[in-house]
Chains A and B, each alone.
Chain A
Amino acid sequence: MRLKLLGAGGGRLGSLAGLGRGGAGALALPGCLLYTRTGAAPHLTHDTLREVRGVPGVAHIALPALAEIHDVLEEYKEGAAKFMGLPDAVLYCSLHDPVTPCPSGYNTNKVVSLWGSSGRMEMTASKFMDIQRAIQPDWFQCLSDGDTISGEAGRKRAKKSVDRSLSFLDICLQLQEKSPELQGSVMFGAIEGGDILEERLRSARETAKRPVGGFLLDGFQGSAMAKETKLKLIASVTAELPEDKPRIIHGVGKPDEVLECIERGVDIFESFFPFQVTERGCALVFSYECHPDPEATVLTQNGILDLEKNGAQEDLEEVSKADPEMTPFEISLKDKKYHDDFGPLLEGCSCYCCQRHTRAYVHHLLVTNELLAGVLLMMHNFQHYFGFFSAIRDALRDSKLDQLKELVFRQALQGPANATLRQ
């Protein structure tokens, strides 16, 4: 694995090359992973995924689903990628699934708890490495204790998360040396430490001393940590890490947060966010075009005016009925107002869904509980999200990151997006 940086300001523009078995895999940076559930993009078969543009070169799989079929993989012998019908994929195996909640209080000095469809599984370092030997991932997150996100963790708990994770790291590195199946696999060390700066710095420095291939910023999931604390810690942590190794962050997906992390030295993100948007029947419609044509800008502004004119009352009602998890970057296709909207999900989008179908059709599919709704929304949401990362890289290249930030942050403040808001 080779990391090359192009030295742009405001973020680490570059690429990773030489990935995977054959060394042909690559990932542009900053970038995201392809979120999968047991090796398949959610709702998407291999051929429907092929219709999505900009699919990243590294696929993300969570350990719990694979741990549950450990015995199957052991018997199969040829590794998880091949088992899942992805023989040429570059696979990153994280410890947890970003979408599955991890109840607090189930880790010890020797054991980390994972949560899968059959419930809780206890991982010791040796069991963890046994399973990784059967999976044979290209990258994997080392066993670590990230149970500091519930908001109740104090200094002592933060210190424990660092101590335990370093101990697991040292054991697992030793075990990896003795495992022929894992010689080609890159271990990512997890940076823990809760919201305690001292512990975060200690974790970063100590982890950086070990021969890991990359770093994983853990414990920033959820909403318990104050925003300023989170950003400050991320910046402090990455400052301690070597330039030539990639930095992944878990649990960050919203466009504004992605930009903030990129500015603070993070390279790689997950793509669970478009999946969550899909699951609530929503479509991403936020703009990331830095040079919208002047006409569109006028339309945008008129759209905002229409919102105000249509009556705040009506909008308030809609807002309260909407999914509480909904962000300002999306529209909710279940809303009655789309039942005869014959425009695409997002004007100007070139995805499979927007090229062939209308908001009215997707609305109908959602209302009638048809499986195709998830398929079409996932295709759109993934393509839009991957396009966002591409726009970030372009902005870094053209020194226009500030403009992109301004555009995205403006939309973050606007409140739930409106059907007439054409970008």
Chain B
Amino acid sequence: RSRALKMAAPTAGPVPVLRIVAECGRSRARAGELRLPHGNVPCPVFMPVGTRGTAKGLTAAQLAALGCRICLGNTFHLGTRPGSELVRRSGGLHGFMDWPHNLLTDSGGFQMVSLLELSEVSEEGVRFQPPHGGEEILLSPEKSMEIQNALGADIVMQLDDVVSSTTTGPRVEEAMERSVRWLDRCVAAHARPQQQLLFAIVQGGLDLELRRRCIQAMTQRAVPGFAIGGLSGGEDKAQFWRTVKFSAELLPRDKPRYLMGVGYATDLVVCVALGCDMFDCVFPTRTARFGSALVPWGSLQLKNHQFAKDFRPIDADCGCPTCQRYSRAYLHALLRSNTAALHLLTLHNIAYQVGL
């Protein structure tokens, strides 16, 4: 089976990734498209998260039918199971998932810090004990790039030194400066710059001066895109928006700005207005699996008894397959007995976010 050949895409040369089609007169929002190896993607764009090579119960065909043209794979999870070498042998993550459109992988750094109690950060990289057994691993910038090169996503992220946005003190500055050094190591280690676009990740916590210094340093490197990292993890909302605004204003206009881990519908709209182009969040898929449907006015907890006899669709104005055919009352009943209900909600929630 020569799937790897079928998936071959045009190389990502020096052509700018972002093409701006329109800019808002009143806000800093812009509409355009990302020119990526596996096809163009209109932006602003919401990227569903397909952690382990699957968008949570949806087939690749369903995800594409919703209009999704880029989604995320998770380097940490895929790197441990089934392992990057197996994915490479399957024709990369594209072949493994049978996904013909674009993929973005993160560096693996975030999970290691957020999921593991026994991880230890040093200049070398992040040392940790894998959760499913095995020897201690060092995730260095070089190792992260090696895994991401094997996975073969269209956009790969640098390994950054992430600290929680509620952290204060010298650790924040240390992490920011290390992230710049790690960016250089990632650029040097990146073995496939023609097929995969390496994005930098701006750090600095909520400290605007640190953010400024970080952006100044990173924009001196020749990377095709920038992410704003280290936010949307429990910080005060006003500070969150202020940091996003400040960062987006300083980042170059002509390169995509990816706000990592965002998010909820309100945050998406605001951050588009602040000038961000790309977003990802597990929220819509995760909340679907708890029986929650996202709507413009909030969310519906469909397991609640109040929906037992509500014969309306989730959202009468929604064109997704779930709203076209099923009522809240039926979904309420189906949630009891059939995982298909979760998939129907996942379909709706992704359609909602992608449609935003």
Contacts and interface: CB of A to CB of B under 8 A. Distances in A.
A75 B65 CA distance: 35
A38 B336 contact: yes
B41 interface: no
A72 interface: yes
A334 interface: no
A82 B314 CA distance: 17
A402 interface: no
B28 interface: no
B347 A364 contact: no
A372 B62 CA distance: 12
Nearest to A51: B61
B90 A352 contact: no
A46 B325 contact: yes
B334 A342 contact: no
B126 interface: no
A197 interface: no
A409 interface: no
A352 B321 contact: no
A83 B342 CA distance: 18
B90 A342 contact: yes
Nearest to B311: A76
Interface string B249-270: 0000000000000000000000
Contact of B336 (A42, A46, A76, A117): A117
Interface in A208-232: none
Contacts of B342: 371
Interface residues of A, number: 45
B11 interface: no
B333 interface: yes
B90 A37 contact: no
Interface of A: 37-48, 51, 65, 68-69, 71-72, 75-76, 83-85, 117, 339-340, 342-343, 352, 356-358, 360-361, 363-365, 367-368, 370-372, 374-376
Interface of B: 1, 52-54, 56-62, 65, 77, 81-82, 86, 89-90, 96-98, 289, 308-309, 311, 321-322, 325-327, 329-330, 333-334, 336-344, 347
Given A71-B309, A343-B1, A374-B339, 9 more contacts: A42-B340, A45-B344, A51-B61, A72-B309, A364-B82, A367-B81, A367-B82, A370-B57, A375-B59
30 contacts: A37-B337, A38-B336, A40-B338, A45-B344, A46-B325, A48-B59, A51-B61, A65-B336, A69-B308, A71-B309, A75-B309, A76-B309, A76-B311, A85-B325, A85-B326, A85-B327, A117-B337, A342-B89, A343-B1, A358-B1, A358-B90, A360-B96, A363-B82, A364-B81, A367-B81, A370-B52, A370-B54, A371-B339, A375-B57, A375-B59
